[in-house]
Structure 1
Amino acid sequence: MTYSTLINKAQTYQQGFDLFEEMKQAGLTPNEISYSTLINKAQTYQQGFDLFEEMKQAGLKIDEISYSTLIKKAQTYQQGFDLFEEMKKAGLKIDEISYSTLINKAETYQQSFELFEEMKKAGLTPNVFIFNILLKKTTQYKQPLQVFLSLLDEMINLKIKPQVGEVNKKGKKIKPYTVFAVENKLRKSQKPYKEWIQKNANSSKKNHAGYKRLGQNFLNKR
């Protein structure tokens, strides 16, 4: 059984790392598979990043999987963004997962939106998960309702249905609630929201519960 196989079977990062060091002490040179497997097992961003830098120094080719894995482990948006830019310079293909991971890590709505636009220009279609991230971040914007509704418009154009019956941390389904009852935090915004519902009557009726839940979530965050 090879060291790469043993590292892959290791139950913890430390077990894998010990095998990795043992491999080097035995005079064997770790390959891309050994490094990427251990990066995936890393418990912290720093552990993964140190291996990542070691790979570079060894002159090994770093693929999209290793970059994507490290972007997920990034503790800050800037760490993830730097890796993201490095990927582009290396001419590597960036998929929806890498974009959604970085959009989620963004500290501001503007950062998220710029990545969202870049993603579309690259010919990638945002999915419901990416829209959900953006919808949650709209409250950071100066004119949140306008942005919120424009995202819903785009969801309709792309024929993306909003999620219904989202499950919370306790494993219970979150029921969709009426948008305008109970909440009075955005009274001034109720009129444009009603106008949007009327304008998109067919789509909003078809996916009524989903849009009601999205609207309620938006109001709750204000």
Structure 2
Amino acid sequence: MKELELSPAQKHEIQKGRDGLARILAASDAEIHDRRFLLDCVCQIGIAYQDWQALSPFTRFINSTSYGIVQIPTELVDYLMIAGKFRPETVAEVGVFHGGTAYISAAYFYRLNKNLRYTLIDICDSLFDYDYLSSVLPLDLQIPKTSGDFIGRHFDLAFIDADHGYDGSRIDWLNVGRHAGVAAFHDIDGAEYDGLNGGIRRTWNELKLEYRMDRPIIEVSHHPSWMGIGMIFNDRAVSTGF
């Protein structure tokens, strides 16, 4: 990994992130299943700086740099707690950007399953603090690569958050999502991507129609037209305790 020259603000927020991740890793059995505890850790790590009005309820948790999650914190926490019920051992995140979601997810799932291997897939390296965090989290760096490099490979959980156009997100599903125990998509309510041949919303809505009779489908949606996380559970995942 390349070393980036960090500003004082970035150093401060990276340390804050390390502290929040350490809390997750050191959580008691009661804490790791406590939504309020996990949400507090996520908010401590913080949201990457954005001026999006829909984040106004979380203004006090927005960082001054691009370090942090690009998520609605409550959606991320609810997704993690649902997926965590299955204690995934192999996880792929397609589209990791600066790593905010990947690091939190890896810490949470690692606390639940010490055999975890968390694969980070992206076409370019924009990660913060990878050298340190790879020493405390079971990360498998696969950059620069795409979902096509893993076509047909089974992961217990695949989190897809890369190309938000219809064709790109559908291809990520075909490459890894449909082969995963649980397939999750970010931005299923992202109306801003509709101009990309229907965007991720079109992909998600088509998959819901296609699989609703065969597989449980869950939407974690805290805004009517923005972000959102959708989850499709395949037969193996269902048989292990959905």
Instruction: Compute the TM-score of the two structures, normalised by the length of structure 1.
Output: 0.30
Report which structure shows greater RCO (CA 8 Å, sep ≥6).
Answer: 2
Instruction: Compute the TM-score of the two structures, normalised by the length of structure 2.
Output: 0.28
Q: Which has the higher helix share?
A: 1
